[in-house]
A and B are shown apart, each in its own frame.
Chain A
Amino acid sequence: MGGFERYKRQITFDGIGEAGQAKLSAARVCVVGVGALGTVVANSLCRSGVGFIRVIDRDYVEETNLQRQVLFTERDVSEGAPKAIAVAEHLAGINSTVMVEAVVDDVNASNVERFVSDVDLVLDGVDNFETRFLINEACHKHGVKWVYGGVVASGGATMNILQKDDGPCFRCFMPEMPEPGSYPTCNTVGVVNPITGIIASYEAAEALKILTGSGDVSDQYLAVDVWENLSSYIKVNKNPDCPVCVGKKYELLDRPAASYAVSLCGHDSWQIIPEGRDSADFGALAARLEKIGEVKLTKFLLRFDGDVSFKLFPDGRAIIENVKDETGAREVYAEYIGS
């Protein structure tokens, strides 16, 4: 097995061995979002010899990414490289035997099934719950396992969704999509570097176990906080009324877009309309946003001016100002308001 020479250290490890390595080499994964989590996951799995890695991200490399998003360089920033392309290029220099497919796109109801249905495992590197709910539905529909991972500030969590008849899906853990503004985001409360590597490394480790057919795959939700010195495993039960994994109702997959964006003619602005939610949590959001920019609350709306400008309305809709396209508007919504 000359081709496996580079994997000698992990083949020597009992948990993998040559048989495990062969499985990894035949495996196909999809990493949705290659930011702080996704770059670490893609890096680990590429070095470990997972045969095919699809990396998807709609975003471009920015200077503020470099503090935690591995693989990217200052040159990627100056070139304004798409994250997915930059990841593929760097990984090609790390392990040319792995096939990396770069997709520069928004993941939505019309394309998510195509992205997840031809792989063995999906890994979560996204920055919003809307996309996770979508991934959860698409993966359940196609019987594809996925690993949830999320971080903000100094804490993070991960959980395997193994598509077992008696096991939970992500919707069992989080029955409703959170209200816009109710969850902190990395742009509003920040994030420290180590937690991203820790959660992503757990995701990668679970991926190796799942792909090699290990009996030690975790069936619990893991929460870690590196600042508050916390780490705990929680058992998540299957919700007998779960619309997705019990009811097999794929609401988000059947919507043209989970949330949709409308260009406001005459303006360089976009209106984002979050689907399925009709209220926003102004109070908590205003408190967070005040630390990073100017917040003005009127009887009718919350106005934010900082690195970006937007107006959020009580029904969860927002006008995102001075953005060049729909993708940019969605990003601002996800990163500053949270969805």
Chain B
Amino acid sequence: MIYLDNAATTWPKPEAVCEAVSDSLRNIGGNPGRSGHRMSLESGKTIGRARLSLSKLIGASDPERVVFTCNATDALNLATGGVLFGGGHVVISSMEHNSVTRPLVHLAERGVECTRVRMDPVSGVDPDDVAAAIRTDTKLVVMTHASNVTGTVNPVADIGALCRGRGVLFLVDGAQSVGSLPVDVESMNIDLLAFPGHKGLMGPTGTGGLYIADGVRVRPARQGGTGVFSESPTQPDELPYRYESGTQNFHGLAGLDAGVRFIVNTTLDAIHARESRLVDMLIGGVREIGGVTVYGPPAGANRAAVVSLNIEGVDCAEAAMILDASFDLMLRSGLHCAPDAHRTLGTFGLGGTIRVSPGFFNTEDDIARCVEGITAIASEA
């Protein structure tokens, strides 16, 4: 069984992640930050460690500004809803995920207006286009760091500097980058960074977070028990409690902490280099096949490990099913929850693309098998 769907969720997870989850389930019983007893303190510490390792990974100087959410979608909803609840204008790219666009369509009821700037499938968004789209009432710019369809990377540092200069908040969707590409919220001028725990960070599903820069006001999406400041009738202002009502997923966060440590020990450079080698090998292999179109950046480009392609005359869903049924390859076909990206690529009418997303644990043999399968399907078409 060859898993090439790491853009959906990474698999396998490092052994240390499995052990950390198992250990926390077996040995740590307390509700984090609630009671004063030893086990509660221990579970609180587990979460604190995860917050610290994540803040270091993304270059945030204050760990408390990393708040945990259920996943990146949850974080994006918190950020967009929390910044734009009073209306306003927002600029996004033309290749955003539904986790960005659907909340904004929902917010249109509150008077939020949205401008899409074209994201080039090879080079990403041109910062000049973002500058031109910013209006006096623009409150927020939202950009994916890397497309979940093509792996195309946006120049987030340039856009961050531009937003900072114009006094507009900058929210980055790090779903495909955090844990795989360098992200530094301070040097990149990122005000809000949404990330999943179960993709590049190699943690369990049900984990994720939002980094909120100092001074950025985000209205909480929910209110409730925080374990501290219980005397206050209203939601406390202090981070992370302001956004972390209810018992946290500390078993999952124990795993997430182990995932981040695995990345730090392995080094981001080594992970990125390995994934890039596999992507380049894949693109090099399928480019030789007649009738195969690869979308997005060419081999050798700086990108996330996501490759979209189509085989002429073969429906992408059918191709993915053949790759699974006849070649034991697990990957994804369709729109990948990003219809705008397919409108940009011109693949919407085709029903999307076949998406191959290798991860750190894939091998050259896996890619060779994938190229072999795509070759065989193309020759039958």
Residues of A within 8 A of B335 (CB): 265-266
Question: Helix, strand, loop or mixed for chain B's interface?
Answer: helix
Are B322 and A265 in touch, CB under 8 angstroms?
no
Give the A-B contact count at a CB cut-off of 8 A. Answer: 55
Partner of B321, one of A298, A299, A319: A319
Are B318 and A301 in touch, CB under 8 angstroms?
yes
For the complex, give the distance between the alpha carbons of A319 and B333 in Å. Answer: 13
User: How close is B230's CB to chain A, nearest CB, in angstroms?
Assistant: 39
User: How close is B336's CB to chain A, nearest CB, in angstroms?
Assistant: 8
Are B351 and A300 in touch, CB under 8 angstroms?
no
Question: Helix, strand, loop or mixed for chain A's interface?
Answer: loop
Interface segment out of the listed A239-247, A308-316, A331-339: A308-316
Are B380 and A300 in touch, CB under 8 angstroms?
yes
For A301, give the chain B residue with the smallest CB separation: B322
Asked if B239 CB lies within 8 Å of chain A CBs, one says no
For the complex, give the distance between the alpha carbons of A265 and B334 in Å. Answer: 6
Are B334 and A300 in touch, CB under 8 angstroms?
no
Are B317 and A319 in touch, CB under 8 angstroms?
yes
Residues of A within 8 A of B270 (CB): none
Say whether, besides A264-B317, A317-B321, A300 and B326 are in contact (CB < 8 Å).
yes
Residues of B within 8 A of A300 (CB): 322, 325-326, 376-377, 380
Residues of A within 8 A of B85 (CB): none
Partner of A319, one of B318, B326, B376: B318
Most chain B CB within 10 A, of A267, A299, A317, is at: A267
Q: Mark A167-197, 1 if CB is under 8 A from B, else 0.
A: 0000000000000000000000000000000
Which residues of chain B from 341 to 381 have a CB within 8 Å of any chain A CB?
A: 342, 348, 350-352, 376-377, 380
Asked if B337 CB lies within 8 Å of chain A CBs, one says yes
Q: Mark A263-280, 1 if CB is under 8 A from B, else 0.
A: 011110101000000000
Partner of A266, one of B322, B324, B334, B376: B334
Which residues of chain A from 254 to 270 have a CB within 8 Å of any chain B CB?
A: 264-267, 269
User: How close is A60's CB to chain B, nearest CB, in angstroms?
Assistant: 27
For B333, give the chain A residue with the smallest CB separation: A264
Q: Mark A190-209, 1 if CB is under 8 A from B, else 0.
A: 00000000000000000000
For the complex, give the distance between the alpha carbons of A315 and B324 in Å. Answer: 9
User: How close is B172's CB to chain A, nearest CB, in angstroms?
Assistant: 25
Which residues of chain B from 319 to 334 have a CB within 8 Å of any chain A CB?
A: 321-322, 324-326, 333-334
For A264, give the chain B residue with the smallest CB separation: B317
For A303, give the chain B residue with the smallest CB separation: B318
For the complex, give the distance between the alpha carbons of A104 and B202 in Å. Answer: 44
For the complex, give the distance between the alpha carbons of A265 and B336 in Å. Answer: 8
Say whether, besides A267-B317, A271-B317, A299 and B380 are in contact (CB < 8 Å).
yes
For A263, give the chain B residue with the smallest CB separation: B334
Are B322 and A269 in touch, CB under 8 angstroms?
no
For the complex, give the distance between the alpha carbons of A315 and B352 in Å. Answer: 24
Residues of B within 8 A of A298 (CB): 380
Partner of B351, one of A266, A301, A313, A317: A266
For B332, give the chain A residue with the smallest CB separation: A265
21 A-B residue pairs with CB within 8 Å = A265-B334, A265-B352, A266-B334, A266-B335, A266-B339, A266-B350, A266-B351, A267-B317, A267-B334, A300-B325, A300-B326, A300-B377, A300-B380, A301-B318, A301-B321, A311-B318, A311-B321, A313-B321, A317-B325, A319-B315, A319-B317
Q: Which residues of B contact A (CB under 8 A)?
A: 315, 317-318, 321-322, 324-326, 333-337, 339, 342, 348, 350-352, 376-377, 380
Q: A264-B351, A267-B317, A300-B376 are in contact. List 13 more A-B contacts (CB 8 A).
A: A264-B317, A265-B337, A266-B350, A267-B334, A271-B321, A298-B380, A313-B322, A314-B325, A317-B321, A317-B325, A319-B315, A319-B318, A319-B321
Q: Which 4 A-B pairs have the closest CB atoms?
A: A266-B351, A313-B325, A266-B352, A265-B334
